[in-house]
Structure 1
Amino acid sequence: MDDPFKRVAVSDQAYEDAYRVWRSSLTTLLGDASLLARWQERRYRFAHQVGALLTEVHGDGSITVGPALYGVFASGAGLCYVGQTQEAERRLRDLPVGESHHLANTVPPEVWERVVVIRWPLLLSEAPASEQMEVEAMGSTVCGLALEHTLQVATAPPLNSRRRRTAGDWQHRNLTQSRSRGAIHSQLIPELSRLTLAAWKALSEVEVPKREAVVATGVGRVVFPSALHELPRT
């Protein structure tokens, strides 16, 4: 498995220079009260657009509701974060806004390359009857945590692989040694986990469409926030 924290070939000086350019750009964008309002409006407009693509009807697909797994890929860094929710219609709209989710505070949605969404209950009919009974017994919330754990172990997203400490630094999380509810119950649904990973891989590898920013399938969708910068404004 690749090391998610392996340094790329960027010197410390280049990194600090990029940080200064970022701060300088924000200073310009927030130069006065009217520019601040313009910035607020532009950022929310983009986040709202991404949230709508993640949840609303697209093509022959249905709206995204109920339990789901999701992952955010950023340009350059690749897969950054994997999560799960029981209320996709609410959580995925909030994900790019960041009002109740930390991700957008660290990785702005303007640099998200793609967001993969798997509505895992739609895979249940393909799982063995014994696993369907396990899922019914453990409940949707615990099953979602179990599949989230399986996906995090398989993909090692950097933002899931560390936790903040009160000392102001970060501590590594060994996901493979977790004794959480999700980790314990993940052992009971191997085939559902396999089906979920297969669906995840397929959507993770979908090519960016030329004239739209979302591709919907029978069990989920992939949204390309990066493509919104290229599409003509309507």
Structure 2
Amino acid sequence: MPAYKRILLKLSGEALMGDDAYGINRATIVRMVREIQEVTQLGCEVAVVIGGGNIFRGVAGGSVGMDRATADYMGMLATVMNALALADTMRQEGMTARVMSAISIDQVVEPYVRPKALQYLEEGKVVVFAGGTGNPFFTTDTAAALRGAEMGAQIMLKATKVDGVYTADPKKDPSATRYPTLTFDEAIIKNLQVLDATAFALCRDQKLPLKVFSIFKPGALKRVVMGGDEGTLVHV
């Protein structure tokens, strides 16, 4: 039995790039979808919040000097593109997914409606949240913390390229060690760049634990869901 019945998985757009400079790497997105499928088969209800950095990176040069709010809305549209790609890959792998957007694009995806999202989760569908919070100046980390709290997730999982939170950058400092657990206050005091400050505060206030792990380690998501020693747990 999984340790968590309902999870909120935060995927960065960059995680979809694989070794590419930007865009979506087909092999990478298929592998991630199969990892998600594995935990749904255990009986875990999965909601996903996805970023848009991989798409936005391709147009970043043109955004220099742009109004911040306008650039953020462009980023929201990028998350919708990623969410559609993720849901379509899930469909091809035999899963049922629903994309819900915080910004209104009714001809393409459903608008975010909390009771409907909860219903989908209870029916065993994967719900992919796009459009961030629907507001500029807020990151998709904050959107993940918000949706995790709204969905009643037992834990928020932040999938990264690093297998946890370290005392220093492990790529630059070979002596850096991984924290097995941290409190939110410790992470803030140590200035550990795990989430932005708004997302941190929301997780702490809502008592929503956070697990940081590497989505690039085969089977890591399953080990996290099963309660194994994987990544770093940040808690109240």
Q: State the TM-score bracket (shorter-chain normalisation).
A: under 0.3
Higher-Rg member (1/2): 1
TM-score w.r.t. structure 2 length? 0.24
Give the structure with the larger strand fraction: 2
Give the structure with the larger helix fraction: 1
